[in-house]
Amino acid sequence: MQKYSITRRDFLRNSAAAGVATALQPKIHSLAGPVAIASQNGFAAVARAVEEINAGADALDAVIAGVNLVEEDPNDITVGYGGLPNADGVVELDSAVMHGPTGRAGAVASLQGIKYPSRVAKYVLERTDHVLLVGEGAQKFARMHGFSIENLLTEEARETWVRWRETLSNRDDYLPPHGPDDADLGETFHRGPDHWGTIHCSAIDLRGNISSVTTTSGLPFKIPGRVGDSPIIGAGLYCDNEVGAAGSTGRGEANLENCCSFLIIERMRVGDSPQDACLYACERIAQNTHLARLQNETGEPAFNVSFYALNKAGDVGGARIRGQAEMVVADRSGARYIEMAHLFP
Ligand code: GLY
């Protein structure tokens, strides 16, 4: 069985033919065989994805099976069951999937009461002529396909939400009128730069096909109805079967305004390594962060966004705006953590 339709050598030759010098940069990681990558909370997810792929699964089914482990885990407070709720104490989930071989996508946003939004997103891809269903419509669609409604608010998440309510003061996401130079509006980043969770997972299967999923409970205590980057194709994830896949975690608003997963694919298309393409997206966000309330004292973004990518040849890498961190990768040798690049310390 042919594993990839192009080899890494072909990839480099094609990129060089297109006049792209950066294609000759040393690769960050090179992996043969099935490959899965994920954000740092996806160690079990990539291991499961590769297990599924080795058993013959399509990459899309494999990555969904992987992230389902996190969606059902009450201890991950950023994804699925146990995710922190919105400002009204209701858990609202966002997820998107993309299937490389068909180029199709499916997504759900502000979905309440369904533990596995990634599975519903796959139904949107397979059983509708649409890409994105939201809110009540998404829930009705899920029920139509046999999903049952559950209470996703764990006791721990409820107590965290109550503490937030009881100490609310002016620390929410509503903003008074303000200008680009207004730094302190009372609310700014009370959550801290790493408060955003989410899981992204992409994989290459034994046929060389690529697929991706991103799933999240979104920003804790968000304004009800707020949708982040995760379910938005081109922002929270993108996948092109001839190039590779990319996805994100972190401050969704910054990614939504810069369409970074699509940007990363296009950078890899012209020869960037996955890590360089992810760094490029981080730089783009930093360049476009003009508001004082979003910057630290030296004018850098005061928040974090992380990107994860793999290319068709199986090279993987990631980058984030602030600070050292790891992502996970799995292949035939098992799952392990690898260092990500970062723009600012
Ligand atoms: N990146 C997840 C979110 O902003 O909702």
- Tens digit of pLDDT for each residue in 101-160? 999 999 999 999 999 999 999 999 999 999 999 999 999 999 999 999 999 999 999 999
Residues of the chain with pLDDT under 70: 1-33, 169-171, 185-196
Number of the ligand 1 atom closest to the C-alpha atom of 251: 4
What is the whole-number distance in angstroms between the Cα of residue 230 and the centre of ligand 1? 6
328-193-254-87 Cα dihedral, nearest 10 degrees: 110
The torsion angles phi and psi of 172, rounded to 5 degrees, stand at -130, -165
- Among 229, 261, 321, which is best to mutate for testing ligand 1, by the most ligand atoms less than 8 A from CB? 229
Number of the ligand 1 atom closest to the C-alpha atom of 198: 2
Q: Which pLDDT value is given to residue 189?
A: 40
Pocket of ligand 1 from Cβ distances under 6 Å: 196, 198, 216, 218-219, 228-230, 249-252
Residues, the chain, total? 345
The torsion angles phi and psi of 10, rounded to 5 degrees, stand at -60, -40
Number of the ligand 1 atom closest to the C-alpha atom of 248: 1
Coil vs helix vs strand at 94: strand
Structure tokens at 331: 């292949």
For 173, half-sphere exposure in the C-beta direction (CA atoms, 13 angstrom radius) is 15
What is the whole-number distance in angstroms between the Cα of residue 229 and the centre of ligand 1? 5
Q: Which pLDDT value is given to residue 170?
A: 62
* Residue 222 DSSP class: P
Ligand 1 atom 4: the closest Cα is on which residue? Answer: 252
Distance between start and end Cα atoms, the chain: 44
For 176, half-sphere exposure in the C-beta direction (CA atoms, 13 angstrom radius) is 8
Q: Which residues contact 15 (CB under 8 A, 6 or more apart)?
A: 23, 270, 271
Q: Which amino acids are annotated catalytic?
A: 198
What is the whole-number distance in angstroms between the Cα of residue 52 and the centre of ligand 1? 27
- Among 41, 111, 214, 230, which is best to mutate for testing ligand 1, by the most ligand atoms less than 8 A from CB? 230
Q: Which pLDDT value is given to residue 185?
A: 67
Q: Which pLDDT value is given to residue 254?
A: 97
Residue 133, judged by CB atoms within 10 A of its CB (0-12, 13-18, 19+), counts as: buried
User: How many whole angstroms separate alpha carbon 8 and alpha carbon 255?
Assistant: 29
Q: Which pLDDT value is given to residue 54?
A: 96
What is the whole-number distance in angstroms between the Cα of residue 206 and the centre of ligand 1? 31
Q: Which pLDDT value is given to residue 71?
A: 98
What is the whole-number distance in angstroms between the Cα of residue 217 and the centre of ligand 1? 8
User: How many whole angstroms separate alpha carbon 18 and alpha carbon 340?
Assistant: 28
